[in-house]
């Protein structure tokens, strides 16, 4: 395997599917995308324009492609379990977008499937691959900030997704905060033992009407005693706001936003900089490349994937506890 290109098929060519497809085609010489699948036949044209001539509207046709080593699943969350199972039965390795599922039982099932068919499964927690956050984690691991005491995560989107997306995504804790729950475990290296969530509808009342929130503060308590706060909004008018601070017994380290350039313009009203890079496609461009590169590498050299179904399970458990905490207005303890 090590000399051959890794042959890949992609299911779902929406916002994130396109990011992975372009990285695999233009930036990863070790990989080759042979086929794209999406239920929307109009996307054939896009797929062809990016250089992939085979396009199927049906997942089984993708699975039946015997030359494929792996399938990258970027279709909506409620398709993940079924697609992972069918890919694994056909012996294909899987990269699947987050969340793996909004159901803990389904993730347990996915774990058994992966073990049974001995295929690799990497989960799309892309922020773990952002080089700034990787640095933060290494500072914790090396002991540079001492024992971690407080983690602060700010994670705000520039604009809410469509209501249709929210309905099928499992809601804010499941489609958005899930990244922050994963980062909390990743940076501290500790499991979460208690979750206390508060939420509100302050951006769009229609989000409230479909049973979700658009603004949240979540407090986490870790098994190692550290504490964390996560604050989320579906709408930051100044752009994608992604910051993390870790404070410990020997010091503190923080990662701020990234910008299209570093200029400041001064006038009578003060100094002005450009807004942060607008959204996930811009802010995490290199992180998306690194995560898929590591997936391809894991297949090519038969290594372990860096983020797996266990990580997905833990993040989903925390997201569900946050939802329960919001509903019951009390802290929820996680049992492992
Ligand atoms: N890691 C990240 O940063 C990140 C960012 C965005 C989305 N996601 C995740 O990726 C998944 C897709 O999100 P998106 O924002 O790209 O959604 P999207 O709505 O932009 O795209 C979804 C695509 O899947 C297609 N599709 C719908 N049903 C399908 C089916 N049954 N089989 C195959 N294709 C189907 C649609 O036609 C569409 O092209 C979700 O699970 C989401 O949580 C992850």
Reported as a single tens digit per residue, the pLDDT across 8-45 is: 999 999 999 999 999 999 999 999 999 999 999 999 99
Instruction: Return d(Cα 218, Cα 74) in angstroms, integer.
Output: 28
Specify the pLDDT at position 4.
85
Q: Is the C-beta atom of 129 inside 6 A of ligand 1?
A: no
- Residue 165 Cα to ligand 1 midpoint, Å, equals 9
pLDDT confidence tier of residue 179, bands split at 50, 70 and 90: very high
Q: Is the C-beta atom of 275 inside 6 A of ligand 1?
A: no
- Residue 83 Cα to ligand 1 midpoint, Å, equals 13
> For ligand 1, what atom is nearest to the CA of residue 43?
39
Residue 3 has pLDDT above 70, yes or no: no
Kindly report, residue by residue over 211-250, the tens digit of the pLDDT: 999 999 999 999 999 999 999 999 999 999 999 999 999 9
Q: What is the pTM of this model?
A: 0.95
**Torsion-angle region of 63 (φ positive above 0: left; ψ -120 to 50: alpha; else: beta):** alpha
Q: Among 99, 56, 95, 102, which residue's Cα sits nearest to residue 72?
A: 95
Q: Please say whether the beta carbons of 234 and 159 come within 8 A.
A: yes
Instruction: Return d(Cα 251, Cα 183) in angstroms, integer.
Output: 20
Which two tokens mark 174?
């499941």
Q: Please say whether the beta carbons of 195 and 318 come within 8 A.
A: yes
Helices 104-117 and 80-89: angle between axes, nearest 10 degrees: 10
Paired sense of beta strands 70-73 and 6-11, if any: parallel
């Amino acid at each position: 395997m090590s000399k051959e290109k890794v042959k890949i098929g992609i299911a779902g060519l929406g916002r994130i599917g396109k990011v992975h497809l372009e990285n695999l085609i233009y930036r990863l010489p070790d990989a080759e995308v042979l086929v794209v699948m999406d239920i929307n036949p109009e996307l054939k044209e896009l797929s062809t324009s990016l250089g992939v001539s085979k396009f199927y509207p049906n997942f089984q046709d993708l699975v039946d492609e015997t030359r494929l080593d792996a399938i990258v699943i970027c279709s909506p969350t409620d398709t993940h379990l079924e697609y992972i199972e069918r890919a694994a039965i056909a012996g294909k390795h899987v990269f699947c977008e987050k969340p793996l599922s909004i159901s803990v039982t389904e993730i347990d099932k996915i774990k058994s499937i992966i073990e049974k068919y001995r295929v690799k499964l990497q989960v799309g927690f892309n922020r773990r691959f952002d080089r700034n956050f990787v640095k933060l984690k290494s500072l914790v691991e090396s002991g540079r900030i001492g024992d971690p005491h407080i983690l602060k995560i700010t994670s705000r989107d520039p604009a809410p997704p469509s209501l249709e997306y929210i309905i099928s995504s499992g809601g804010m804790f499941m489609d958005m905060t899930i990244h922050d729950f994963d980062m909390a475990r990743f940076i501290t290296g500790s499991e979460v033992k208690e979750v206390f969530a508060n939420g509100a509808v302050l951006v769009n009342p229609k989000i409230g009407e479909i049973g979700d929130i658009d603004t949240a503060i979540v407090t986490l308590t870790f098994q190692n005693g550290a504490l964390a706060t996560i604050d989320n909004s579906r709408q930051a008018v100044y752009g994608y706001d992604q910051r993390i601070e870790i404070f410990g017994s020997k010091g503190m380290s923080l990662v701020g936003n990234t910008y299209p350039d570093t200029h400041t313009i001064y006038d009578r009203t003060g100094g002005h900089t450009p807004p942060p890079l607008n959204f996930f496609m811009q802010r995490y461009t290199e992180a998306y490349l690194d995560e898929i590169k590591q997936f391809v590498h894991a297949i090519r050299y038969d290594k372990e994937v860096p983020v797996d179904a266990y990580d997905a399970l833990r993040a989903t458990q925390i997201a569900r506890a946050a939802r329960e905490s919001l509903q019951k207005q009390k802290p929820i303890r996680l049992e492992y």
